[in-house]
Copies of this chain bind each other. A is one copy, B any other.
Amino acid sequence: MPDHFADRLLAAIDQKGSPVCVGLDPAIDRIPPEVAESVRDLLGEAWEEMDDVVRAANLIYCFCLDVIGAVADLVPAVKPQIAYFERYGAAGVAMYEAVVSAAREAGLIVIGDVKRGDIGSTAAQYAAGHLAIDDGPDAITVNGYFGADGLMPFVEAARDNGKGLFVLVRTSNPSARQIQDFADAAGKTVFQHAAECVAELGAAEGLIGESGYSCVGAVVGATYPDEARLLRKLMPRQIFLVPGYGAQGATAADCAASFDEAGRGAIVNASRSVIYAHQLPEYAGMEWPAAVRAAAESFAADIAKAVKP
């Protein structure tokens, strides 16, 4: 696989035939009871001796492993959301690391959804812990509220380690407009201004791959397709990580706005609508991993069809 993150991600998308990513958001109350049963059986006495937090951490780990197994040959990437692991403290973070490692071993591109951000000296610590380690994720999400000096340690770590980052530009949630749509006298918004900063930052020497895309990408919510079309123009060299499809309400047509004219340059994420497919009426009666697989196939086909150039 190519050494440059953007090239590697785009090659993986080509190989799997669809620009999609399955989000791993393992909420304990939505995990199928079969997972708990098999973990209890597998761990035996060790399970009995575990406290609730360690049990929960083991459950979400095993659930993610099964999801990875169900989708690894269908999709190019997974996106573990660290909040669902961090909820269980250090025990959960250990499982986040194990999930990242297992997904990489399964041949998947791994985007660690950590949304870290701080002043430069602190960002350097986050960059060291998330991007400059062996066996870590291929890319992470970061928050750009601190401006360029808070982002530079992440950019440098990505450049030096063949990794990538996705800077939050337009988030997918309902109140995204509250801060991000604040506008200047000419009508330019905060998210447009952020996009220009990211485009400039990501165009520096050594950051653009052979694909023409930068290792510095952007998060652009599918729930705001008009904004995505505008952002595609403002950030021609950024791969967009596109959340919002499925449980958050965006359609494949909404997602298509984030792609370039050749149908490249973006990857769409779905989390809950895929990994909890066994709870949806259309997959009733299926074994839960088969439901997850069917939902991933349907998701991948839906996006591939919508973005064909």
Mark out the residues of chain A between 78 and 126 whose CB falls within 8 Å of any chain B CB in the assembled complex.
81, 83-84, 86-94, 96-97, 115-123, 125-126
Q: Are A197 and B178 in contact (CB under 8 A)?
A: yes
Q: Are A87 and B128 in contact (CB under 8 A)?
A: yes
Q: Are A119 and B173 in contact (CB under 8 A)?
A: yes
Mark out the residues of chain A between 143 and 191 whose CB falls within 8 Å of any chain B CB in the assembled complex.
143-150, 168, 171-180, 182-185, 190
Interface size of A by CB at 8 A reads: 60
Q: Are A143 and B172 in contact (CB under 8 A)?
A: no
Query: Which 9 A-B residue pairings sit nearest by Cβ, starting from the closest?
Result: A147-B178, A147-B175, A90-B94, A87-B129, A83-B125, A185-B185, A119-B173, A149-B175, A90-B93
A16 CB within 8 Å of chain B: no
- Give Cα A149–Cα B176 distance, bound, in whole angstroms: 8
A31 CB within 8 Å of chain B: no
- What is A's interface to B at a CB cutoff of 8 Å? 25, 27, 81, 83-84, 86-94, 96-97, 115-123, 125-126, 128-130, 133, 143-150, 168, 171-180, 182-185, 190, 193-194, 197, 243, 248
A168/B145 contact (C-beta < 8 A), A83-B125, A86-B125 known: yes
- Give Cα A147–Cα B197 distance, bound, in whole angstroms: 20
